[in-house]
Amino acid sequence: MCNEDCFIFYTVIYKINLSITVLIMKLIESPLALSDALLIAKGRHRACYQHPDRPELCIKVHLDPYDDLETIREVRYFKWLHRRKVNLKGIADYRGKYPTTLGMGYVYELVRDYDGQVSKTLDHYLKNFELTEPRINALTSAYQEFKQTFQRHYISMMNLKTYNIVYKRESESYGRFYLIDNLGSANLLPLSYFFTSIATRTLQRKFMRFESLVRERYHFSINS
């Protein structure tokens, strides 16, 4: 008859076997197949693909597998925010990583409009006046809400670009901005993560710089 020590021994063996089984399953996972048909956008360092099985997600892969410092920084900051349960409204959230046929893939929320279309960048709207004109109030209101959310929660980011923000149409007359890239700080010691006064000043500078950029490049006042 098995005594308590025997029971503990077999429990430990069972857990070890279970862990080994899980590890083996991960090692033999088939990589997700990514193709040009799934390509959403391509930048200087990464390409973004629609997840082949889950339409609410996208996968970012590096064009150069050794040029991953930006993603590592961003993922670390996402994990930092998750641990602190920070409100991530206005940010395309990070969901983990998964091997793909194009290398390691980093999985994010894919922002879509109310009609199911992938949300367009702010750059797309500002370059097409026929799209901007009927949405001037909606765009400026969405920007104010976006700005206030980042300032309220002291969220760090790199310099804002119009192609790193998408406008999610939640109806024909209302929408929200979402940051889809360049979250976190590039500083070796990111003091803005830990000191709200530094985060506040940094955000003020970045938003002022962004508003000036939009005025100069698109002749549009996003902060009206």
Does residue 86 share a domain with residue 144?
no
CATH code of the domain containing 44:
3.30.200.20
The number of distinct structural domains making up the chain is 2
Please tell me the distance from the alpha carbon of residue 62 to that of residue 179, in angstroms, as a whole number.
19
Q: For residues 137 and 55, what is the distance between their CA atoms, to the nearest angstrom?
A: 30
Q: What pTM value is reported for the model?
A: 0.84
**At which of 88, 109, 130 does a domain end?**
109
Query: Does pLDDT of 98 surpass 70?
Result: yes
Which tens digits make up the pLDDT trace of 153-169?
999 999 899 999 999 99
User: Are residue 202 and residue 143 in the same domain, yes or no?
Assistant: yes
The answer to whether residues 136 and 205 belong to one domain is yes
Domain boundary pick from 109, 141, 163: 109
Enclosing domain of residue 189:
120-218
For 29-35, what is the mean pLDDT?
Answer: 89
Establish if 10 belongs to a structural domain.
Answer: no
